[in-house]
Structure 1
Amino acid sequence: MTLPTSGADAWQRAQAAIARRDMVAARGELESVLRADPAQVQARVLLAGVILAGDRLRDAATHLLHAARHLPDDAATVCRVAQALMRVGESLATRDCLRHPAVARCRDGSILATLAHVHQMLGEHPESLAMMDRARECGFDNADFRYFRSIQLQFNGRMQESEEELESCLRLGPTYGRASLTLARLRRQTPERNHLDTIRAQLAKVPRGTEDHAAFEFALYKELEDLGDFGAAWPALQRANAIMHARLKHEPIRETRLYDALIAACDADMLRPMDAVHEGPMPIFIVGLPRSGTTVLDRILGNHSQVVSAGELSDFAHQLRWAADRPGRSMLDESLVSRLGELDFAEIGRRYLVQTQWRAGGHRYYVDKLPANLQAAGLIAKALPQAKILHLSRDPMDVCFSNYRALFGDAYPYSYSLDTLAEHHRNYRRLVDHWHAAMPGRILDVDYQTLVADPEAMARKVFEFCDLAFEPDCVDLSRNAAPVATLSSPQVREGIHQRGLAEWKRYDAQLQPLLQALQAD
């Protein structure tokens, strides 16, 4: 960027202040740059980052929105602004950035690949794949890129191409554990067609204790289980979880303290819904534990003529944090919970709708299927009195085992130990019971076993709760060609089945401690 001499000096001093972690000085220097030239977009983006580091969200978002209104004809800068806007929850402005003319003209494969990730974060999966294909046409290529392109091919239902891309990724990246695990999950492995030799070869040389190491162990478990070798599969699953548990060091006491504070703060009086009527399409929230069947219900609803699936949105959490003026990665924390009584929930609901209603695409409802929104279900009900909330309930052993056999990265750190899984399930049940007691009739429980055993009966119940007429074809998941961006995306394209029931019993003896802990609740 070009700056007048005084501005250039301040820019250099700001860089030096950031390097020595003096954010107060950096903020002052960057504000000096902007006084000299308010149109300096890169200075605004950097200032927003400095403000976020000081735990202030609103000012950071204001600067980024200003930057988005004054974008230069430069795809790299547009990309940087879009990434920053996404981090502060400004989905609408992010989407506008991606439609800037500079993006259409861009021929830099690295920038296009980064913009594809932004589309993915927005849930725009066809657009993400198209952007990746543009990056490839520009000559951009590496193992990471092939892995993420394979994921987009999978999300868009192109399974054979996804498998081929994963195979090519593994040829480029010899210890790319996540690619190996994704490849194992794409289909059921057979004695004639599996990857066990490759996985074992990589396990012999992958760095110990890394996430790649854990991913290869999860892949080994999956393929051994497919082949019916449960005796060898279980130790691989234990090793995989032990690696991730050691890496993330989940603190169940801290989690329990958060749930205690949330339940105490959200009594019936506090959760009384706002006296507000919002216009336009309304969200249907699907909440629950991960791996509880949320994607199956999402696909059924997405088949309805008046509903579209918007994917797993982080917008409600972003608006909670905007209202509290506190950035953060988690849905809630104790600091945010302590401020719930001060927040303007009418404003939270309005802002959520501003950021998300575009996703409805002319439909009456759109589905926000983020399982973690369960933590905020009472707050959603308060802020959005017209919204529908559906809670997936699954057998405790089934859902805990399904969590234990999945690699979630750092998203659900409780899932890598049987002890912490049991403790988390205990907190989850306490919270669900509290929401029902404080808001009778506001949340519909959807039993997973009933959903897969008699999908039409459960669909009728769900549609009635959502004020939707029953449409018989909705339970035929093969009709739903929309992208699906969850861990179960290969499975839900097969249609509704009951294979996921009681799978834990293959490891009955090994899982007795979990069963006893859950029964003690």
Structure 2
Amino acid sequence: NKHFQTMKRIIGEAADPMDERYTPLHFALGKAYDDVGEYEKAIEHYIAGATLKRARLDYDEAETFAFFDAIQETFTKEFLENPPFQGDASQVPVFIVGMPRTGSSLIEQIIASHPQAFGAGEIKEFNRRLGALRGRFPALPKYPKLARRMSRDHYKLVADGYLSSVRALAPSADRITDKLLTNYYFVGLLHVMFPKAKFIQTRRNPVDACLSCYSKLFHDDMPHSYDFGELGRYYRKYADLMAHWEAVLPPGTMTTVVYEEVVSDVERNARDLIDFIGLPWDEACLAFHESARPVKTASVVQVRRPVYTTSVERWRRYGPAVQPLIESLGFQS
């Protein structure tokens, strides 16, 4: 491939291949070497690109972990059982949450193929509504402390605003998916506002999920994803938070969909999913790859073809180079 040869030549002739200008090139070369099966060279370039990217980012791990802890301390079982707001009874919102690269685009595509559902994609509407609330009432503290200081009217303002914006996207849909993955921070707050809403967590082998994040140069802010140690520790903190939500939410509110299980049996998982969100089964959900809806994430290629299994246990290709990630995730290999 001409582009591949050009990229190799540029990096080969570089006076300093670790100049920050070459960051995107390292990620592109990693992908190119992956595609031709030269996995040792692929991981070398991913590591080079990630190292360069990390050097330019400001990431405070202690502050991030304190945020996770504060969320769990705020949204106790007692708080969710006696909420400050009775909630909107709408069943329209369906929240798909999880780490990136765990099959969430596939799950949304399956649901959005149902004639009674609409896939809104990665909308930042809820976060925007919370920001607008604090803009109007500057005395309110930041999230998560915000949740215990909001009045019933504040809750209603955010819930009504969010729902009307989402409904406007598809006025006749019975279910609308919101696939902003980082809504995992807000599951408790969203549940208070929409007690009948469903949450779908997408999961994948943690090493594969993390490695897939590590090998992507994200447009969005993912500062923890460019260092194996930081990435593994972040994942564990995330998994703790999801376990917390499972423990404090009423049964039937959240389900976990495992990527490897979906690719091994699409129909059974699709049927379970449609049943979970309370819609009748429709065969269109199995023709999800034929859908013409726009997909704007890094997974656009995957959701345009039938399910494939080549990315299961992908991490094994790279050998000892991924050992620091495996250790930071707490696995013994």
Provide the TM-score with structure 2 as the length reference. Answer: 0.90
Q: Which residue of 2 is the match for residue 282 of structure 1?
A: 92
Report the equivalent of 1:168: none
By how many angstroms is 1:232 displaced? 1.7
Q: Which residue of 1 aligns with 2:62?
A: 253
Shift of 1:211: 6.4
Q: Which has the higher relative contact order, 1 or 2, with Cα contacts under 8 A spaced 6 or more apart? A: 2
Partner of 2:301: 490
Task: Go from structure 1 to structure 2 and tell me whether the alpha carbon gap of 1:449 and 1:220 turns closer, same or farther (over 3 Å shift).
Answer: same
Q: Is the 8 A contact 2:97 2:179 kept in 1?
A: yes
Tell me the equivalent position of 2:185. Answer: 375
The residue number in structure 2 matching 1:195 is 3
Residue 324 of structure 1 deviates from its aligned partner by 2.8
| Distance 1:468-1:410 versus aligned 2 partners, 3 A rule | closer
1:461 to 253, 272, 295: 272
Query: Any conservation in 2 of the 1:415–1:421 contact (CA below 8 Å)?
Result: yes
Superposition misfits of 4+ residues, deviation over 4 angstroms = 204-212
Q: How is 1:60-139 mapped onto 2 (pairs within 5 angstroms)?
A: none
- Pair 1:512-2:323 in alignment: yes
| Number of the residue aligned with 1:312 | 122
2:257 aligned to 424, 435, 446, which one? 446
Structure 1 residue corresponding to 2:34, chosen from 217, 225, 230: 225
- Taking the aligned partners of 2:74 and 2:208, their CA distance within structure 1 comes to 31
* Distance verdict in 2 for CA 1:475–1:212, change over 3 Å: farther
CA contact (8 A) 2:86 2:192 kept: no
Letter in 1 for 2:298: L
2:204 is aligned with 1:397: no
Deviation at 1:213, TM superposition (A): 1.9
Report the CA distance between 1:393 and its aligned residue: 1.4
Following the alignment from structure 1 to structure 2, what is the Cα–Cα distance between the partners of residues 503 and 208? 27
Given the alignment, which residue of 277, 283, 286 partners 1:472? 283
- CA contact under 8 A between 1:456 and 1:472: conserved in structure 2? no
Whether the 8 Å CA contact 1:326–1:336 is kept in 2: the answer is no
Q: CA 1:210–1:443 in 2, change beyond 3 Å: closer, same or farther?
A: farther
Partner Cα separation in structure 2 for residue 395 and residue 233 of structure 1: 20
The residue aligned with 1:417 is: 227
Equivalent position SS for 1:392 = strand
C-alpha distance in 2 between matches for 1:476 and 1:500: 21
Distance in structure 1 (CA, Å) of the matches to 2:205 and 2:296? 24
SS in 2 for 1:221: helix
RMSD of equivalent CA atoms: 2.3
Distance in 2, matches of 1:462 and 1:384, equals: 19
The amino acid across from 1:485 in the alignment is: K
What code does the residue aligned with 1:271 have?
A: L
- Distance in 2 (CA, whole Å) between partners of 1:206 and 1:268 is 58
Q: Secondary structure at the match of 1:366?
A: strand
Residue-by-residue CA offset, 1:231-271 (whole Å, 9 max, x unaligned):
22221111000011111132211111111111111112323
Aligned to 2:102: 292
Instruction: Specify the alignment match of 1:265 in structure 2.
Output: 74
Aligned residue for 1:50? none
TM-fit CA distance, 1:207: 9.1
Q: Determine which of 121, 125, 147 is the counterpart of 1:340.
A: 147
* TM-score, normalised via structure 1 length: 0.58
Preserved contact between residue 206 and residue 212 of structure 1 (Cα < 8 Å): no
| Partner in structure 2 of residue 436 of structure 1 | 246
SS class of match (1:312)? coil
SS in 2 for 1:248: coil
CA distance in 2: counterparts of 1:397 and 1:195, whole angstroms: 30
5+ residue gaps, structure 1, are 1-192, 328-333
CA deviations 1:164-208 (Å, max 9, x no partner) are: xxxxxxxxxxxxxxxxxxxxxxxxxxxxx3522222344446997
Q: How far apart are residue 386 of structure 1 and its match?
A: 2.6
Q: Secondary structure at the match of 2:257?
A: strand
Q: Distance in 2 between matches of 1:206 and 1:220?
A: 17
Distance 2:40 2:258 in 1: 31
- Whose helix proportion is higher, 1 or 2? 1
The question of whether the paired residues in 2 share the 8 Å contact of 1:398 and 1:504 is answered with yes
- Aligned residues: percent identity? 28
- Give the Cα separation in 2 of the matches to 1:416 and 1:286: 24
Gaps of 5+ in 2: none
